[in-house]
Amino acid sequence: MNFNHQALTELPQRYRANFINSLSGIRQAVLVGTKSANGQTNLAIFNSLMHIGANPPLYGLLFRPDTVRRDTLSNILDSGTYTLNFVRSVDYPRAHQTSAKYEQDVSEFQAAGFTEEYHDGFAAPFVCDAVVQIGMKFEQRIDIALNGTILIIGSIHYVRLPDQMISEEGLVDLSMGDVLACSGLYQYYKVSEIGRLPYARP
Amino acid sequence: MNFNHQALTELPQRYRANFINSLSGIRQAVLVGTKSANGQTNLAIFNSLMHIGANPPLYGLLFRPDTVRRDTLSNILDSGTYTLNFVRSVDYPRAHQTSAKYEQDVSEFQAAGFTEEYHDGFAAPFVCDAVVQIGMKFEQRIDIALNGTILIIGSIHYVRLPDQMISEEGLVDLSMGDVLACSGLYQYYKVSEIGRLPYARP
């Protein structure tokens, strides 16, 4: 099937949103944990985590326009800290449930059945049984004028993962932890490593 | 294993680069096709493709700082067009080979064994046997001052993929096409769908 720009523009809104989002590829599912100024915890699923750089260690997360209530974004901007949690593929129904629009005074940790955990004086809550836990500090907000989305860049201040998932060279094998991946808003995947290749030379 | 910010800072440079990059998650492997002003084609593997928005349809790609020759980035900025190609998981050795630093007058299409294909008057070359082909037009460059990386945002002007990969609601099942995923610079993965869930409600 082929689509040109005109055809994409004329697609029904819901179909286009599904199509463009799921077409953009399979990505790591990430549960983002935050806490509001009055102590309310929040947990929400994202698949927009990106590697910005290793030195200093920086990751980015893309947020939809803040024209409606965005608890995760508000909490990151207010508190300056947030956590990134990778869960196992079997946890996809619970992970998906964190995308529901709960009232502001409901914690998605409880609503979806995850347990809070705290480390190293970090204010933001980690997911207790996550395979990988990463603690982040907010660094920069970049507003994308083209469509009102917001790129949040943070630095890594805490990492916990199983020893056996890290190779001698520092490579992390996430498939060993059976981590959950997803595409778009509704589709969940598991991953398996097929190969590891050396630095490519001409 | 735990790392705090101090421990991350003190890791050997190569180990830290591997660790921070591969820790950031599994993502779609994308071959980016471009053509220079003098007609030289180029193909390079990326895993930083991100969904920016569906209306208008916008995707982003992150580039390392342009302190060395970056053929793909130069070609996008010069020509205004580029292609995104998802290949099958069995093609991972060829896909990885496009990451080698070839001379500027060598096409990675030929060097890695892919065939160029052209559509709809698009100047940029597509990968002939890719499962998914997406034609992009450059829209905006955002420089990330924190570390010199560059976010390139483009609009989607052409899409080709197999009919049976799209559901009635517009959801694309990439695992049906056995597309290649990767993490960091060296590790390749295949994906399998484990479930599709409806819009979550409290």
Closest chain B CA to residue A195: B188
CB B158 within 8 A of CB B133: yes
Nearest to A30 among B13, B25, B52 (CB): B25
- State the ipTM, two decimals: 0.96
Residue ranges per structural domain of chain A:
27-190
Give me the pLDDT at residue B173, please. Answer: 95
Token couple for A194:
């097929």
With contact defined as beta carbons under 8 Å apart, do B5 and A156 qualify? yes
Q: Which residues contact A7 (CB under 8 A, 6 or more apart)?
A: none
For residue A195, give the nearest of B92, B111, B153 by CB distance: B92
Exposed e or buried b per residue across B37-67, where buried means at least 16 C-beta atoms within 10 angstroms of its C-beta? eeeebbbbbbbbbbbbbbebbbbbbbbeeee
B140: Cα within 13 Å, side-chain hemisphere: 13
Q: Which residues of B touch A179 (CB under 8 A)?
A: 25-26
Q: Is the CB of A74 inside 8 Å of chain B's CB atoms?
A: no
Q: How confident is the model at residue A183 (pLDDT cuts 50, 70, 90)?
A: very high
A194: closest CA of chain B, how far (Å): 5
- For domain A27-190, the question of CATH label 3.40.50.1370 is answered with no
Nearest Cα of chain A lies from the Cα of B194 at a distance, in angstroms, of: 5
Considering only the beta carbons, identify the residue of B99, B185, B191 that sits closest to A191: B191
Residue A157: which H helix or E strand, with range?
strand A149-160
Q: Residues B26-187: name the CATH superfamily.
A: Electron Transport, Fmn-binding Protein; Chain A (2.30.110.10)
As a whole number, mean pLDDT of residues A71-95 equals: 97
Structure tokens at A154: 């943070």
pLDDT at position A121 over 90 = no
pTM recorded for the entire structure: 0.97
Q: Which phi and psi angles does B24 have, rounded to 5°?
A: -75, -5
Q: DSSP letters of A178-199?
A: TBEEEETTTEEEEEEEEEE-PP
Helix (H, G, I), strand (E, B) or coil at B87: coil
**What is chain B's pLDDT, residue by residue, as a tens digit (202 residues)?**
899 989 999 999 999 999 999 999 999 999 999 999 999 999 999 999 999 999 999 999 999 998 778 899 999 999 999 999 999 999 999 999 999 999 989 999 999 999 999 998 899 999 999 999 999 999 999 999 999 999 999 999 999 999 999 999 999 999 999 999 999 999 999 999 999 999 999 9
